Amino acid sequence: MTLSAVDLTQQLIRFDTINPPGRERPCAEFLGGLLDAAGFDVTYHDFGDGRANLIARRGGDDDRPALGFTGHLDTVPLGHRPWSVDPHAADISDGKLWGRGASDMKSGVAAFTVAALRLGGALDGTPGVELVYTAGEETGCDGSFGLAHGDGALGRCGALVVAEPSSNQPWVGHKGALWLKGTGQGVTAHGSMPDKGENAIYKAARAISKLEEFDFNVARHPVLGPATINVGMVQGGLNINSVPDHSEFTMDIRTIPGQDHAKLREQIASYLGDEIEIETIVDVGGMWTDPETAWIQDVFAIVTAHTGWEKSVQAATYFTDASALTPAYGNPPTVVLGPGEAAMAHQTDEYCYVDRIDEAAGIYEDIIRKWCAV
């Protein structure tokens, strides 16, 4: 296996998988072709037109579950600001690999793919690996929830590596996300006669003002901190001289592991009252693994050996496919560990440091070796 993790990252970036619309299938089929040719068992799981999840396995026994790796193939849109580089050329300069998905998270996908390919046949007769490549993560982990709720799509995994950007530092948790839309309904009337109407924007404004003072009434997490709420969008009105009969606003709630999203939604609805209707847009839970877990300690030691990292307990502010996959696997220990830069996710002129990509492949290979005793 002569393909390097950097080379593979470049090839993956050249697939346009911006979501929407996604179009992940060609990228999934490219990876599946590499893995199939190397002797991995490859299956595709349809996810809409031109889209697919991919699962690849090698090894496996009845006594011990496989080691799981996961990464998503979709990327976010380019944004309105112009790029100074071609976002799909995957050029390298100044020690950086540039392009949409370089950090989030095609470098991580490439690194664990190369690590598994390097070991290849050595995984036969061992617990082996299960590689899960997902579609639709950027819009709420849609692909991974599809796998989690599918009929036997996933195998058994006793631990899970999520190759999201962490600068090759192991993070043992992440926040959840509950995205809600609030709607205010009113009665339209001429702007010169507001008493004849019912202003929906005023309803939204009253609700938004209340949200500034909302108290989750839960203790802050020692690493992830408090749950938070942010009103990110407000829309309403017909024109300047009409009383608006409709308004909408969105709430981005970031929760800490253990918070019950259904109860929180009810709490928000009760707090805002009958003037506002609540609709769920995205609902993904948080993840937390005890850092003293034996496997996590193994990962810490391997990362330190490769990078000189000094042990510290850290977690991600963003959510990942672990929201769906970790519960589906029975809540095994899970770590977020990838070569990308978290601060580069979704940015114009996104990049990943080239050295981190090969470093990640070496870390992943040693994690597999430890798990499979090869």
Instruction: Give the DSSP per-residue string, 190-256.
Output: BTT-GGGSB-HHHHHHHHHHHHTT----SPPBTTTB--EEEEEEEEE-S-TTB---EEEEEEEEEE-
- Of 19, 112, 30, 26, the residue nearest 74 (C-alpha): 19
pLDDT mean over 240-256: 98
What pLDDT sits at residue 151? 81
Judged against a pLDDT cut of 90, whether residue 2 lies above it is answered with no
Distance, CA of 310 to CA of 316 (rounded, Å) = 18
Structure tokens at 369: 């070796």
pLDDT tens, position by position, 137-180 = 999 999 999 999 988 899 999 999 999 999 999 999 999 999 99
Q: Which two tokens stand for residue 55?
A: 């699962």
Residue 62 pLDDT > 90: no
pLDDT recorded at residue 1: 52
Work out the burial of residue 244: count CB atoms within 10 Å of its CB; fewer than 13 is exposed, 13-18 middle, 19 or more buried.
Answer: buried
Helices 354-372 and 107-119 cross at an angle (nearest 10°) of: 40
All residues at 6 or more sequence positions from 338 whose CB lies less than 8 Å from its CB, including other chains: 71, 105, 107, 108, 111, 162, 163, 164, 165, 166, 168, 360
Residue 363 has a CB neighbour count (10 Å cut-off) of 26
Quick check: 333 pLDDT over 60? yes
What structural domains does the chain harbor?
Answer: 5-174+286-372 (3.40.630.10), 176-284 (3.30.70.360)
pLDDT of residue 42: 98
Tallying the residues shown for the chain, one arrives at: 374
Q: Are 279 and 181 in contact (CB under 8 A)?
A: yes
Q: pLDDT tens for residues 3-47?
A: 899 999 999 999 999 999 999 999 999 999 999 999 999 999 998
219 residue type, one letter: A
> Mind listing the pLDDT tens digit for each residue in 193-236?
999 999 999 999 999 999 999 999 999 999 999 999 999 999 99
Cis omega (within 30 of 0) for bond into 244: no
Rounded CA-CA distance 167/37 in Å is 31
Q: What's the pLDDT score for residue 259?
A: 96
With a threshold of 0.85, does the pTM exceed it? Answer: yes
Mean pLDDT (the chain) is 97
Write the pLDDT tens digit of every residue in 98-112: 999 999 999 999 999
CB 59 within 8 A of CB 39: no
Which tokens sit at 222? 């020692």
CA distance 253 to 275: 20
- Write out the two tokens for 122: 């050595």
HEC string of 87-128 equals CCCCCEECCEEECCCHHHHHHHHHHHHHHHHHHHHHHCCCCC
CA distance 17 to 266: 36
Residue-level pLDDT at 150: 85
3-state secondary structure of 58: strand
Task: Kindly state the percentage of the chain with pLDDT values over 90.
Answer: 97
